Structures are given as structure tokens and as C-alpha cells.
């Protein structure tokens, strides 16, 4: 089977929300999502999964519409920041302090995060032998999957661009390989 991992588009900044920051996409993010869906228009996609976070749901919408698919929400492919009270896109964050970097690494390498991501991806793969499946998720999720495939620890972060496509081949024996990373020609000039 082929698993197409898609990072969400450019999200809004939320400085504080006591109920948990859950940003939607910016106007640019919606445009990126539309262009990504156009890029994937010629491809067969048998099923579509999405993180429960709004930025992923918004990103999946144009692809779901173009493919005539309902996106299935999978809590396990949410980013490590689910429930945090703020969300600042990386390009707005400025330089990281040592404490900021330590908190980021702790979130990305937490055993509970890594386990839920890999278990959820494993279930998606097991449920779709021989099919092509897309999952709209987050940079930390994609990096965690790639680190697992490549036998690296979570300290090796793979930075992916907004709405980029990463392709994984997987078989029912558990063998997985990365066939592409960070496809995003539609972002040139944006």
C-alpha cells in the first residue's frame, strides 16, 4: 500500500486560548491546500484520514471534495501540541530560547506521542492493503514516522513545508520505506 502523508497548510497564530489553541488556516493556508489538491487530482486515493486539529481538517477539505471522499478523523495523528493554550507558526516564533527548544524536543520525543502516532499509522496501513491512502496531519507526525522508518530517534527532525506530500510504501509484514519527502512544487512563488 502507499500512504501519502500531507502536512497541513499555513495556520493562524493564537496567542492564548484557555480551551486549547486550535487554529484554522490563514488565507494563504487555504490557497496552499487548494493547490495541493490540484496537484493530487490525477492520483487515485482510496481513503482519506485527517487529524482532529482544525488546521488539518481545513487542509483536507479541498482534497476530500475533489476526490469525493469523506475524511475520517483519527485522533492518533494529532500533533504533540494538541490542547496547548497557544499556537505560534514557526516562521513567527523568532529565535528559540534553550527552554523553548527543550520543550519542543520533549513534545516531539515523548513516548506517549511517538507511540500513539506509530500505532495509528500502523492501523491505517493494516486497514488498507494494496490501496493508496492519504492522511492530512502535522510536521511532528511526519517526522516521527520517517524517524521510525529510518531507524533514527526523535532528535532527528525532518522539517516539512506546509501542504507538502511525503510518500510511504508499506506491506502487511510491517516493512516500510519512504519513497518521497516534502513534494511541494505548488509552493514555488507563494
User: Along the chain (190 residues), what's the average pLDDT of each consecutive run of 10 residues?
Assistant: 98 96 98 98 97 98 98 98 93 84 88 97 97 98 96 88 98 93 94
Which pLDDT value is given to residue 54?
Answer: 98
Which pLDDT value is given to residue 139?
Answer: 96
Q: How far apart are CA 29 and CA 9, in angstroms?
A: 4
> Assign residue 94 a region: left if phi > 0, alpha if psi is -120 to 50, beta otherwise?
left
Nearest to 2 by CA among 147, 144, 168, 126: 168
The answer to whether 28 and 188 are in contact (CB under 8 A) is no
Which pLDDT value is given to residue 154?
Answer: 75
Which pLDDT value is given to residue 4?
Answer: 98
Which pLDDT value is given to residue 95?
Answer: 84
The pTM of the full predicted model, rounded to 2 decimals, is 0.96
Which pLDDT value is given to residue 152?
Answer: 92
Alpha helices, DSSP H only, in the chain? 27-39, 54-67, 90-93, 98-109, 111-126, 139-150
The domains of the chain, with CATH numbers, are: 2-187 (3.40.50.1240)
Amino acid at each position: 500500500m502507499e500512504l501519502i502523508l500531507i502536512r497541513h497548510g499555513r495556520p493562524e497564530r493564537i496567542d492564548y486560548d484557555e480551551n486549547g489553541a486550535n487554529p484554522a488556516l490563514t488565507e494563504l493556508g487555504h490557497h496552499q491546500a487548494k493547490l495541493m489538491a490540484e496537484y493530487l487530482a490525477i492520483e487515485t486515493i482510496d481513503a482519506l484520514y485527517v487529524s482532529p486539529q482544525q488546521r488539518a481538517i481545513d487542509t483536507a477539505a479541498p482534497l476530500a471534495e475533489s476526490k469525493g471522499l469523506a475524511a475520517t478523523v483519527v485522533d492518533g495523528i494529532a500533533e504533540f501540541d494538541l490542547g496547548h493554550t497557544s499556537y505560534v507558526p514557526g516562521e513567527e516564533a523568532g529565535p528559540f530560547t534553550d527552554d523553548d527548544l527543550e520543550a519542543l524536543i520533549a513534545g516531539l520525543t515523548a513516548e506517549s506521542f511517538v507511540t500513539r502516532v506509530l500505532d495509528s499509522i500502523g492501523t491505517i496501513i493494516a486497514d488498507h492493503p494494496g490501496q493508496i491512502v492519504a492522511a492530512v496531519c502535522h510536521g511532528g507526525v511526519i517526522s516521527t514516522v520517517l524517524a521510525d522508518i529510518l531507524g533514527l530517534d526523535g532528535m532527528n527532525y525532518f522539517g516539512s513545508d506546509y501542504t507538502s506530500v511525503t510518500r510511504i510504501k508499506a506491506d502487511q509484514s510491517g516493512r516500510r520505506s519512504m519513497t518521497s519527502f516534502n513534494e511541494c512544487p505548488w509552493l514555488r512563488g507563494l
